[in-house]
Structure 1
Amino acid sequence: MTFYRNAKIEYWQAVEQWALRLAFQKSRKRHTLSRGDRELPKGSFRHDLLAVNSFSRRIWGRAVSNELSRFFCDGGGGTTHTRDVYFVSLMDITCARSREDRLTEADLEFIKNRLRYGLREFSYFGMIEPAYYVNLQHGVRYDGKQCLFWHLHALVWGVSHKELKKRLRKLVQAGHYAAIADGLDATHTRKIKQGRLPTHSAYILKSPCKTYRLSVRDRKDELGRPVVDADGVVLRQFKQGKTDLGHGDRIVLFHAMKHLHLDKLAVAGGGGAKLLKTAKRIALRDDTATLRSCIPGPIRRKSRRTIVVRRRIRCWLSA
């Protein structure tokens, strides 16, 4: 089996495609969808690599998977990889945004630069995505009841696990990375076991599929004893839980990401820069695809109907 098939991207995107279609039909927020919105998940937009289009995610997933297979597995299916690779997650509270915020190009670049800072001088490939927090409460580091917490998942190589963890630990101590609340980790690293590279790659390339909730619990030390302050009061910290996206949650994420492109959400450095460049060239290569314009994605066949749809979407964007 190929690396792409082992990653099961086709299966998961089929699930996400069905779930979004159901949300468009049943969500109480469906009235917020314009006619142009309803066109974006369709196959005619797949070649613009839209973040909300499951066909785009399959094209992007196949291009990236093929490059990862060639680079790490000598063209194999991912059952073995030829060098140490680490799965890394990086979070910082400066990258949290209101769910109504529409990321500008400048804002997205700020988030990408902020999150990948700790990986400079290393080789890496990763993707930016939002975590949807739906019940923020007093004591968290974000002022609001809900937010989209943009974060980075990446594959990192060309460094020892000890050196990688040491650098990220220093950056957390310096305040460069900060979780959304006490008790949660701002960084996470894990060495990828043989045979697990396709699975971790699929996680990096996935659509957002969960909502996150925070609950409060007593803080405990390494021995499981409650931690108290000078007055003997037990200190509290937060614990995170997650559930599958509901219909309305999918509509919220759709609006937040409908103008974003998968290749623009990708980050890379060192040996990963060439990998990303090649994946972009392959994923965007299509003789009949139109060039990107001011609309979220070009329509491939310029029939009379698609021209009309395109004009409507342009009007919708300028409204």
Structure 2
Amino acid sequence: MEGLRGYHQREYTKPEREVRRLRRSRAGELGAHNPYAREFWMRSMGAGLCRCVGACAPNWEPRVPVFFITLIDEGQIVYPTDANTEGFRRSTPHFPDIHRTYRRALRGFDYIGMLDPALYVSTQKVECVSRFILWHAHALVWNTSAAALDQWASEARWSMRAYLPYASGIDWRPIRPPDLRQLIWYTGKTPRQQYQLWRREKGSLQQYARPINGVNAVRLYATMRNLTLPELTFAGGAGRQIIRRTLRRASAW
């Protein structure tokens, strides 16, 4: 909201119209940037996950192993609509294709996950455009083992190529039982950082992160303005029932 009301934003001539979309009264629309919708959505999904893994009050620690997975594929980069991308080494994917790519990668698991946009700025020297978004995904997986995930990651990494050469397209790790709620919130967080790339003398890339400023927050809002939380969410196995219940609850918000 502060970014929309900021003096330097140039995306909207009447920002108060957009601010109204972010109020509690509009949470039922499930807008991806509405903070109240995000909170309701993650509370409902988190409650469903806790039931599945036996996490109860007061500690909310799961009775079965739960794993946190991050998927990054450089093929899911989206350039600004006004950018001249003719001759680029990659084409801009459509959002349904992005969703499908990450959903297929987790086929066969019980999981819930969400797509997350990473905004890269000042990228003229790297990508010949001023900024771009790299869509990646975070997921919570259960009813599997570390050995099974390790084998899956080894076999699936060929299909997930991270943007940075020193990073992995697939990262998985077991969740410490006390950290389950924290990772639920992290999976569904609103983007809070912007990233910048710098090419070292040897040609490799270095990434820097900092809190997103008001101007770029509005740019990201404009990009995601018409997306809803169900569109950002994907699930498999037992996770599908969690999403169906969350959608039914959302109709009463």
Q: Structure 1 length as normaliser, TM-score?
A: 0.70
Matched, 1:48 2:29: yes
How far 1:100 moved relative to its partner?
Answer: 3.9
Flag structure 1 segments of 5+ consecutive residues without an equivalent: 1-20, 219-234, 287-319
How far 1:79 moved relative to its partner?
Answer: 3.8
How far 1:167 moved relative to its partner?
Answer: 2.0
The amino acid that maps onto 1:87 is: F
Counterpart of 1:135 in structure 2 is: 122
How far 1:236 moved relative to its partner?
Answer: 4.4
Counterpart of 1:73 in structure 2 is: 54
How far 1:30 moved relative to its partner?
Answer: 4.5
**Structure 1 outlier segments of 4+, above 6 Å:** none
The amino acid that maps onto 2:27 is: R
The amino acid that maps onto 1:193 is: R
Matched, 1:278 2:238: no
The amino acid that maps onto 1:185 is: S
Please identify the structure whose Cα radius of gyration is greater. 1
> Given that residues 11 and 222 in structure 2 are in contact (C-alpha distance below 8 angstroms), is that contact kept between their aligned partners in structure 1?
no
Counterpart of 1:153 in structure 2 is: 138
Q: Whole-Å Cα distance in 2 between the matches of residues 203 and 145 of structure 1?
A: 28
**Which aligned pairs between 1:169-248 and structure 2 lie closer than 5 A?**
169-173=154-158, 176-217=159-200, 236-248=203-215
User: Tell me, what secondary structure is at the counterpart of 2:4?
Assistant: helix
Q: Whole-Å Cα distance in 2 between the matches of residues 143 and 114 of structure 1?
A: 25
Could you list the per-position Cα deviations for residues 26-59 of structure 1 after superposition, in whole angstroms to 9, with x for gaps in the alignment? 2411452545323211222111111111111122
Q: Whole-Å Cα distance in 2 between the matches of residues 165 and 279 of structure 1?
A: 30
Matched, 1:107 2:91: no
> Given that residues 172 and 178 in structure 1 are in contact (C-alpha distance below 8 angstroms), is that contact kept between their aligned partners in structure 2?
yes
Q: Are the structure 2 counterparts of residues 91 and 77 from structure 1 closer, same or farther at C-alpha, using a change threshold of 3 Å?
A: farther
* Residue among 139, 144, 152 paired with 2:129: 144
* Residue among 212, 219, 225 paired with 1:258: 225
Q: Whole-Å Cα distance in 1 between the matches of residues 54 and 235 of structure 2?
A: 19
Q: Whole-Å Cα distance in 1 between the matches of residues 59 and 186 of structure 2?
A: 14
How far 1:134 moved relative to its partner?
Answer: 0.9
How far 1:78 moved relative to its partner?
Answer: 5.0
How far 1:77 moved relative to its partner?
Answer: 4.7
**Which aligned pairs between 1:18-57 and structure 2 lie closer than 5 A?**
21-30=1-10, 32-34=12-14, 36-57=17-38
How far 1:214 moved relative to its partner?
Answer: 2.2
Could you list the per-position Cα deviations for residues 258-296 of structure 1 after superposition, in whole angstroms to 9, with x for gaps in the alignment? 11111221100011111111112112235xxxxxxxxxx
Counterpart of 1:9 in structure 2 is: none
> Given that residues 31 and 226 in structure 2 are in contact (C-alpha distance below 8 angstroms), is that contact kept between their aligned partners in structure 1?
yes
- Report the number of matched residues: 242
RMSD (Å) for aligned C-alpha atoms: 2.2
How far 1:143 moved relative to its partner?
Answer: 5.5
How far 1:91 moved relative to its partner?
Answer: 1.1
> Given that residues 100 and 256 in structure 1 are in contact (C-alpha distance below 8 angstroms), is that contact kept between their aligned partners in structure 2?
no
Q: Are the structure 2 counterparts of residues 78 and 255 from structure 1 closer, same or farther at C-alpha, using a change threshold of 3 Å?
A: farther
User: Tell me, what secondary structure is at the counterpart of 2:220?
Assistant: helix
The amino acid that maps onto 1:274 is: Q
Q: Whole-Å Cα distance in 1 between the matches of residues 232 and 135 of structure 2?
A: 11
The amino acid that maps onto 1:206 is: K
Q: Whole-Å Cα distance in 1 between the matches of residues 54 and 13 of structure 2?
A: 43
> Given that residues 68 and 138 in structure 2 are in contact (C-alpha distance below 8 angstroms), is that contact kept between their aligned partners in structure 1?
yes
User: Tell me, what secondary structure is at the counterpart of 1:254?
Assistant: helix
Q: Whole-Å Cα distance in 1 between the matches of residues 122 and 167 of structure 2?
A: 15
Q: Whole-Å Cα distance in 1 between the matches of residues 154 and 200 of structure 2?
A: 24
Q: Whole-Å Cα distance in 2 between the matches of residues 270 and 88 of structure 1?
A: 16
> Given that residues 52 and 258 in structure 1 are in contact (C-alpha distance below 8 angstroms), is that contact kept between their aligned partners in structure 2?
yes
> Given that residues 178 and 186 in structure 1 are in contact (C-alpha distance below 8 angstroms), is that contact kept between their aligned partners in structure 2?
yes
Q: Are the structure 2 counterparts of residues 110 and 188 from structure 1 closer, same or farther at C-alpha, using a change threshold of 3 Å?
A: same
Q: Structure 2 length as normaliser, TM-score?
A: 0.86
The percentage of counterpart residues that share the same residue type is: 25
Which has a greater percent of helix? 1
Flag structure 2 segments of 5+ consecutive residues without an equivalent: 83-92
